[in-house]
Structure 1
């Protein structure tokens, strides 16, 4: 206001001088200069006011709106809704420090645990589905923490659209669409990972858009800072869900295109070109990986107690957990000892058998890998029949002496419950190719040479207690000795392949006999986990060695991959919540998120018809625009500059490819899919819609353009108001619910 006031004072002085032409102090040149300064001052003030409205107040109001619609009566439904049963429970594991296993990386769940800690949660609630939250659990604050990620998507969308070069009306339209998107709102209201995933997906693309604006000023402090933020954002999105790899592909594609244009720049020295490579490798590969790695480091530090996820890890990791179920046992494994044997491969399961037989092949007893404690994991070391050695009457000694298992020994492993021998023969394995089947065959007194295995010790670890005596490196010890079992006749090795059997094998891990040419092949490594021999004493001063972080990191990631692959539709069960990918952009179905009782606040997960249908249509329109421009360019009807090409790429091509990378995988993958899997793809479809609107309306008369934007803004707001009960909660019956049912497949009515 001060600058405006001074402008008026200058104008007043000019008028006085014009009214008194005889005044000796009159200076015409000064009047002209003052007029110029006055105009510049007004223009500067206008720009300042417009800048404040456009880049501060506008996005701030949109952000407030975004928070308001997500926070609105967020505790209406006071029961555990949908996947809160999973993710709320995972958060409580961090509160209780109990190790668990899940299909997703840990960052999102650690953030949920942070919200529970902030809310004062003590971990004493199981988050059972549809269970009412007790009074001492501040679930409202937990939900608000999660909703904040969803609300902050709006300002991120605003600045992304702005950096992409859209006009201000399109920028506000994109922001409003994100703020009022029904599916974004309803998922933000609960303790889930989806809002976090969407937020970090959007920040990653926003960083890419910002780097696009800075591409002509590389190596500046601002450019370097945004390059670092991009890498950090990639690390975060991949640490919430592996779906984050899809947006990582987009950033990688943009980087490749940018490096290619730099390579074609003959004015750029090779030294600077290689510098571009080095900086991108550090910021876009090393930094994200370090973020991902460090999340698991924190994950392991926090979860130091035995819990539900122990079975997904190896023996060394489990035995170092507080309250582990693996107890110290006699340190020398003998013939006649009962043991459980765990694989050190990517599926660290226990060697297992049961009475069920293979449906084909030998049709003998199945041999599998099973992670959990079970009586069917028990095996007894026996002498080979060819050795002629017989146990005494106690079945543990020979001439009243215990005989240790040593490197190079030929042994026979007898399954305790079924009485069958661990056996292999030239019958093809059932899942993997090129390997032999392993089966349970014969009995303690009946069998052949194909029951015999040779012990090959490959590694011995020392106790963490420096005062514990040195152990014989040529003997087998529980926990610390890693060995291979080589088939005496076939020469192949007992192996856990990492694959799973079909339903006939209870989806347990496949165990085969594989030809392995390297002793470092960890899939052929095994160790004794539990050891029972009542003729030996336990040495209490033995402290097991610590597990290695890199081993734990690799194993837990492979276990996540295996769990993801196991999420396939069950043909014997009908999943009324599942949907096909084609149903998402067409808005064919939605998803009931909670108990659909008459007197319960009900939430229906469905995209906004305005956002979803228009953005889906725009995907086709964008391709038509691309075809038209390509045709005109080939006919030399238009000339496209490099800057225009970059602008078209960032506004249309990259969002379209991002939509493809976030949508097509769910079309082709075999796992079960749900509506919420479309959320990130919907955002990129909205950006493609923004391009089509921007491109189309900028070619019409200004009055028509403004009317067009007015209709779009009104349509977005009206659609939200009409369908708001879907995301804000429906209770009992209401006549307005009938008006919302535009398609017969929308099953949100009672």
Structure 2
């Protein structure tokens, strides 16, 4: 196909397969090229012709038609596999119990806590809003969906995020220099993997995570494609698309940080290479840094923070997640009991004290005594609200306060006070007796009965650390907004929560000590959470505003703490969990629902052709890369430098993406599941297509296409063979015993 311009020059169409693995910077995107044929006319005539008789050539080249057909086929196939029989089961499946419920919290505007960032869960909530869901269904595992809950649309909404994976894999491979045939294979492998398909068909977060991950690597591939054309419009487009993708993927799940690591390493390497170019000027080099900082740091961070702002805005009612946040945040939630209480603390007030360290809870005591040491009453940290968390703030022994309805004596910064446990009337006490777990610190105990046994070791000085209210000229100790330390007057130590849990004799509650070193970290900081004093009026809401950034940081810290607490129980056999060693070889599948003979059953298992061949490709490609690196180090250059450099870049993106999304799980102490491997699998499937083409570059074009076609057909056939596990089956699992290819696959229960 030819198109003639006004100079009479001719432009040849791109040859089929011209975008091969040897291409460097070839623009192989699907686009229409419209060139007017009236450019040689006079301006006036040109305007008339454009208005009435303009003729355009909008035809596509052969390569572009091929790409368009491939993408349409992949999209239709992905749509069919993701949506087919999506309402097969009318029961809550697997983690729909969690994420469907989290979506309902957004519908009800009720604050909750979870380990994941909010974006994907807010999208689940959006799907529920679009169905008219009223938020009343509780999403209990295995529960039947009522008629008024449109679970099919909710699942379809999620499945919509699974559809783009295949076409985005196709364009990613094109941008990295692969031929259309190899790109088609990569997209097809992603499309017909049973595990990637299954995970997209339920109300879960993984389809969104995978979609945003694929967006990130697609954007990175576009940035790679235009790496030699910096500061052009396409380069800027891909750069900022990369930043937006990073913001989305990290806001869906923290696993998205692996994509940040991949793109960060790529960017650092690219800037390192650019620094070594003699023609590079420092001003231009500084510009490279500046635009990357803006696009790849500022943009993602802004998106991440804004997602939490929307999260807080939507969840304005008190709910099950209150206790994970600080007292001041809780006081700003609608329906919170912390709203209507006095602000300034007076002598005689009944209070509770919360540690600044999230998860350590409130200062607590009970009638049980320490089994050794002083054998006095235990002082602990307790996370639940309880009457044994109540303390009365009083003056030191020998001093009285004269509160009346007209005059009240307030507690100020620097005052020396006593804290008397409301339930047992024991004084908060410390002495030169070693603590029970933190042996370098002093024990804190409950001693005496109010003033019946006066002891100077009951005295503590209030030291204000931070005042979150702008209006406090009298330096009063205040509810919620004052952060302070309690220094023991005699031992000169600080009341501290250690983060350790006491043994069963203290009900495994948090250890409280008196820090002899006088540490000034957050473990020694406290705030007053609840305050009861009938002589005082309620606080002005203006004094109880919780700064957004402070709440943002606190929530992320709580998420990290909860995530780290998800450790496997070594004494419990859990058939749902798996280890990173199991994933590349597909050693285990995962039952995600009840397994009765008449139940609709789903088994989360990958396509063996995709998983096993991609794992082989990763292993072979890694060894081959090391082999050629050693040979080049010895001066043996089998591959021309430009082609070798391109191979390093592409391998760094695909093989590096697999490694960064897989290997960190070996270092994690938390419990792991099969679906944690899915982002790494996405990279491995694309790398398989790439490495086949790389190693068949000397083969005839027909032979290469036959090889790619054979693998693609095998993957499709395997998908169809394992389709009952993906789309659901309601007959006994023993009828599928022929599909048990490994002895470790728990398709059916073994007879006893």
TM bucket by the smaller chain? 0.7 to 0.9
Match of 2:476 in 1: 475
Q: Which aligned pairs between 1:267-666 and structure 2 lie closer than 5 A?
A: 267-347=279-359, 349-354=361-366, 366-384=378-396, 387-389=397-399, 403-425=409-431, 438-441=444-447, 443-444=449-450, 445-446=452-453, 448-460=455-467, 462=469, 473-496=474-497, 511-514=512-515, 522-534=522-534, 536-539=535-538, 544-638=543-637, 640-666=639-665
Any unmatched runs of 5+ in structure 1?
8-33, 464-469
Change (3 A) 1:178 1:539: closer
CA distance in 1, matches of 2:702, 2:193: 28
CA distance in 2, matches of 1:692, 1:59: 21
CA distance in 2, matches of 1:320, 1:364: 38
Match of 1:721 in 2: 720
Q: Which aligned pairs between 1:188-337 and structure 2 lie closer than 5 A?
A: 188-337=200-349
CA distance in 2, matches of 1:237, 1:588: 28
CA distance in 1, matches of 2:492, 2:193: 62
Q: Is the 8 A contact 1:697 1:708 kept in 2?
A: no
Q: Identify which range, 674-683 or 573-582, moves more after superposition.
A: 573-582
Match of 1:96 in 2: 108
Match of 1:166 in 2: 178
Q: Identify which range, 542-551 or 590-599, moves more after superposition.
A: 542-551
Q: Identify which range, 713-722 or 681-690, moves more after superposition.
A: 681-690
By how many angstroms is 1:239 displaced?
A: 0.6
CA distance in 1, matches of 2:350, 2:81: 62
CA distance in 2, matches of 1:364, 1:56: 79
| 1:341-366 superposed Cα distances (whole Å, 9 cap, x missing partner) | 22344557322334566788777655
By how many angstroms is 1:330 displaced?
A: 3.8
Greater helix fraction, Structure 1 or Structure 2: 1
Change (3 A) 1:153 1:379: same
Q: Is the 8 A contact 2:342 2:539 kept in 1?
A: no
Q: Identify which range, 652-661 or 148-157, moves more after superposition.
A: 652-661
Change (3 A) 1:225 1:344: same
CA distance in 2, matches of 1:530, 1:38: 78
By how many angstroms is 1:619 displaced?
A: 1.9
Match of 2:51 in 1: none
Change (3 A) 1:462 1:722: closer
CA distance in 2, matches of 1:198, 1:451: 58
Match of 1:678 in 2: 677
CA distance in 2, matches of 1:458, 1:438: 22
Change (3 A) 1:432 1:263: farther
By how many angstroms is 1:92 displaced?
A: 0.8
Any unmatched runs of 5+ in structure 2?
17-32, 34-56
Match of 1:180 in 2: 192
By how many angstroms is 1:523 displaced?
A: 4.4
Match of 1:86 in 2: 98
Q: Is the 8 A contact 2:479 2:528 kept in 1?
A: yes
Q: Is the 8 A contact 1:479 1:544 kept in 2?
A: no
Task: Tell me the TM-score normalized by structure 2.
Answer: 0.86
Match of 2:118 in 1: 106
Q: Identify which range, 317-326 or 211-220, moves more after superposition.
A: 317-326
| 1:115-164 superposed Cα distances (whole Å, 9 cap, x missing partner) | 11111111111111111111111111111111111111111111111111
CA distance in 2, matches of 1:62, 1:683: 15
Q: Is the 8 A contact 1:312 1:559 kept in 2?
A: yes
Q: Is the 8 A contact 2:67 2:180 kept in 1?
A: no
SS at match of 1:595: coil
Task: Tell me the TM-score normalized by structure 1.
Answer: 0.86
Q: Is the 8 A contact 1:346 1:498 kept in 2?
A: no
By how many angstroms is 1:259 displaced?
A: 0.3
Q: Identify which range, 285-294 or 699-708, moves more after superposition.
A: 699-708
Match of 1:699 in 2: 698
Q: Which residue of 48, 63, 67 maps to 2:79?
A: 67
By how many angstroms is 1:271 displaced?
A: 0.6
CA distance in 2, matches of 1:237, 1:508: 37
CA distance in 2, matches of 1:670, 1:616: 24
By how many angstroms is 1:632 displaced?
A: 3.5
| 1:574-599 superposed Cα distances (whole Å, 9 cap, x missing partner) | 32211111111111111110111221
CA distance in 2, matches of 1:260, 1:390: 71
Change (3 A) 1:140 1:500: farther
Q: Is the 8 A contact 1:305 1:323 kept in 2?
A: yes
By how many angstroms is 1:247 displaced?
A: 1.2
SS at match of 1:381: strand
| 1:703-729 superposed Cα distances (whole Å, 9 cap, x missing partner) | 432332232012101110111111111
Change (3 A) 1:361 1:585: farther
Change (3 A) 1:622 1:540: closer
CA distance in 2, matches of 1:41, 1:177: 27
Q: Is the 8 A contact 2:596 2:732 kept in 1?
A: no
CA distance in 1, matches of 2:161, 2:135: 23
CA distance in 2, matches of 1:681, 1:360: 53
CA distance in 1, matches of 2:60, 2:280: 38
| 1:474-523 superposed Cα distances (whole Å, 9 cap, x missing partner) | 4323234333211223323224466766887667555444478797x554
By how many angstroms is 1:647 displaced?
A: 1.7
By how many angstroms is 1:381 displaced?
A: 1.7
CA distance in 1, matches of 2:370, 2:254: 35
| 1:649-688 superposed Cα distances (whole Å, 9 cap, x missing partner) | 2332332222222222222211111111111111122233
CA distance in 2, matches of 1:63, 1:647: 29
Change (3 A) 1:219 1:377: same
Q: Is the 8 A contact 1:314 1:348 kept in 2?
A: no
Q: Identify which range, 525-534 or 660-669, moves more after superposition.
A: 525-534
By how many angstroms is 1:423 displaced?
A: 3.4
Match of 1:467 in 2: none
Q: Is the 8 A contact 2:393 2:420 kept in 1?
A: yes
Change (3 A) 1:318 1:159: same
Q: Is the 8 A contact 1:441 1:447 kept in 2?
A: no
| 1:25-46 superposed Cα distances (whole Å, 9 cap, x missing partner) | xxxxxxxxx9x99998999999
Change (3 A) 1:462 1:175: closer
